Structure formats: C-alpha cells, structure tokens
C-alpha cells in the first residue's frame, strides 16, 4: 500500500517534469544554508552543502545548483564532473576575485572571451598572466 502510494508519487513527479520540459521551462533548486549576514556562522568544511545537494539531485531528479565554500576551480569542476550538482555558485570567492570565472577557465586550460576593455590583460597577450601563483 505504502509502496503503491510512493510509486504514484514518483509517476506524478515524472509527469510534472515532462510537462515542464514540454513547456521549455527550466526548473532548478538552489542549495544554500542561507548565510545571509556577516554574523552568520556557516560550516567551515569545503563544499559543505554538496552531500545534501547530491542526495536531493539523485532522489528528486531536479536540476540542482549548490553553494557553500566552493572556492577553487578544480573543486568546482569536480562537483559537476562527478555528477554531484548541475551548477555551482559562489558568493565570497566571487567577492574576493570578481574575475574568478576568467581565472578558473585559465586554471582549467580554457579561455573565455573578455570584453574589449580587458583584452590586454588576457593570457594570450599579457605575459603577466603566466606569472600569477
Ligand atoms: C554578500 C552576500 C549576500 C548574500 N545574500 C544571500 C541572500 O540574499 N539569500 C541567501 O539565501 N543567501 C545569501 N548569501 C549566502 C550565500 O548564498 C551562501 O550560502 C554563503 O555565502 C556560502 O557560500 P560561499 O562560501 O560561496 O560564500 C549571501 C552571501 C553573501 C556573501
């Protein structure tokens, strides 16, 4: 009885997702522990929300974005590559380095297009880019 109700629930969820897909609506849930003020004391372990996000992603099939002490390009890449989340977000790492995306691309062997005003500091034309730690 309980099992049948559970199966019906799953079927309803699959239908809902199918309808959302048909309607071309993208739907995702974002995983944050809500550290909304400077006084908030979030956990200090790297990627502390990742295990929770991974489980919700696996059990629900919903597209998941995860945030919480994701800092390095390799760490962010691994979360996606290992299928633990569909997207990563970062708050403090981006405040610390507003060009995090550019630097991450370079660290992972790629380059993203920069606005014209920033072209002269790109790795292709600026030797200083290779001197960064
Ligand atoms: C300036 C700032 C503003 C934030 N605003 C919100 C917010 O409005 N709602 C929310 O749920 N979390 C907010 N957060 C918390 C982040 O979403 C995130 O959970 C937290 O900062 C941990 O991620 P991080 O290690 O990448 O900073 C904010 C964080 C910062 C630093």
pLDDT tens across the length of the chain (133 residues)? 444 544 555 555 554 555 555 544 445 666 666 666 777 777 789 999 999 999 989 988 889 999 999 999 999 999 999 999 999 999 999 999 999 999 999 999 998 899 999 999 988 899 998 897 7
Tell how far the Cα of 119 is from the centroid of ligand 1, in angstroms. 30
* Probe target for ligand 1 pocket from 30, 45, 70, 91, with the most ligand atoms within 8 Å of CB: 91
First to last CA, the chain: 60
Instruction: Specify the residue with its C-alpha closest to ligand 1, atom 6.
Output: 36
Q: Is residue 32 in contact with ligand 1, taking CB distance under 6 Å? A: yes
Q: What secondary structure letter does DSSP report for 114?
A: P
List helix spans (H) across the chain: 2-22, 50-60, 73-81, 92-96, 100-107
Q: Are 48 and 42 in contact (CB under 8 A)?
A: yes
Closest atom of ligand 1 to CA, residue 42 = 22
């Amino acid at each position: 009885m309980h099992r049948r109700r559970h199966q019906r629930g799953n079927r309803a969820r699959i239908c809902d997702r199918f309808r959302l897909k048909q309607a071309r609506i993208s739907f995702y849930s974002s995983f944050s522990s809500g550290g909304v003020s400077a006084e908030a004391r979030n956990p200090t372990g790297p990627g502390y929300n990742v295990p929770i996000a991974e489980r919700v992603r696996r059990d629900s099939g919903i597209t998941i974005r995860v945030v919480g002490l994701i800092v390095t390009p390799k760490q962010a890449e691994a979360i996606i590559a290992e299928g633990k989340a569909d997207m990563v977000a970062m708050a403090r790492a981006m405040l610390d380095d507003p060009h995090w995306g550019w630097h991450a691309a370079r660290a992972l062997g790629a380059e993203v297009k920069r606005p014209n005003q920033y072209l002269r500091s790109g790795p292709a034309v600026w030797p200083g880019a290779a001197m960064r730690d």
